[in-house]
A = this chain, B = another copy of it.
């Protein structure tokens, strides 16, 4: 995962006005904070788990989530085989097990014993009992890119621990999810609450 980047040039890319230097950075992948999940799938009847940081919701109704996996992973075989996968959101207190699933490959390690497993309505979407929030997904589309493939999964059900709900809703402050940062290769907790979305901008006045 660590990536070497080289600064190629320094130029002022501003259109007039005061000088503010912007550098073109060698790796074009922007460094944004990436939430960490564990994707589960059965490969030949055995559960396997992979830590994933490239994923996004892509549709609200029906709910569809896309997970982006390097083509070389073992987990992909199970998703292709059964057309199902699970999403598991680990807590910061599961950091060692979460990182383990990014270090060790299903090609040469049996990861089915790394967690307690439960199932919902889909037979081949093994979910992690220790994770406070999980979901089971049916593959509805796949897309191939050069290094990665994308599995689009319609979310059949989402499961939560009682302790992470506030007024019946999953509460991120209780989930205590893990964030990953590229380049320096660190995990982070969620920090200070900055305020309410769709409220804080009400007082913002553009300059003209």
- Which residues of B have CB within 8 Å of A58? 54, 66, 68, 143, 145, 148, 150
| Bound: A127/B195 CA distance, A | 25
Q: How many residues of A contact B (CB 8 A)?
A: 121
Contact of A29 (CB < 8 Å), options: B63, B116, B159, B179: B63
> Are the CB atoms of A62 and B146 closer together than 8 Å?
yes
CA distance A12 to B47 in the complex (A): 20
A8 nearest in chain B by CB position: B157
Interface string of A1-21 (1 = CB under 8 A from B): 100011100000111010011
How many identical chains are in the complex? 2
Contact B189 A103 (CB under 8 A): no
Name the contact of A28 in the complex, choosing from B31, B101, B127, B157 (C-beta under 8 A).
B157
Give, as a whole number of angstroms, the nearest-CB distance from A117 to chain B: 6
Taken together as a complex, chains A and B put the C-alpha atoms of A20 and B20 apart, in Å, by: 55
Contact B13 A118 (CB under 8 A): yes
Question: B24 to A158, Cβ gap below 8 A?
Answer: yes
The reply to whether A145 and B64 contact each other, CB–CB distance below 8 Å, is yes
Tell yes or no: A74 within 8 A of B by CB. Answer: no
Do the beta carbons of A96 and B31 come within 8 Å of each other?
Answer: no
Chain B CB within 8 A of A77 CB? no
In the complex, what distance in Å separates the CA atom of A37 from the CA atom of B208?
A: 23
Cβ contact of A194, chosen from B54, B172, B178, B208, cutoff 8 A: B178
Which 9 interchain pairs have the tightest Cβ spacing? A191-B191, A99-B201, A100-B201, A31-B170, A59-B145, A172-B181, A189-B191, A100-B204, A187-B194
